Amino acid sequence: MVNLDMSGENLAEVQHNVETPNKVVVGTSIPRKIPGRVDINNLMSKVREEERKQKKENVVLFGFISGVIVVTGIIASL
């Protein structure tokens, strides 16, 4: 059974009801998580993790280049 009252006052309050085999009416107006939707928190955590990895790679690369320059300077001064 679907209750569709289309007056202007009750348009926002349309509620879909589903009858179960035991004739119990269950309201489905409670928002449920739809499996096809994307959770923004998961996306943001992935982006933050990628930024951390990239930052770590940049620090390692900078350290390596700095080390090469220092070693080259020491060798050149001898």
pLDDT higher than 80, residue 75: yes
The pLDDT tens digits of the residues spanning 24-54 come to 555 556 666 667 888 999 999 999 999 999 9
How high is the pLDDT of residue 66?
98
- pTM of this structure: 0.47
Cα(46)–Cα(55) distance, integer angstroms: 14
How high is the pLDDT of residue 78?
86
How high is the pLDDT of residue 11?
47
Secondary structure in 3-state letters for the chain: CEECCCCCCCHHHCEEEEECCCCCEEECCCCCCCCCCCCHHHHHHHHHHHHHHHHHHHHHHHHHHHHHHHHHHHHHHC
- When pLDDT is averaged across residues 11-18 and rounded to a whole number, the result is 52
Cα(16)–Cα(27) distance, integer angstroms: 6
pLDDT higher than 70, residue 2: no
Q: Which two tokens mark 17? A: 């009801």
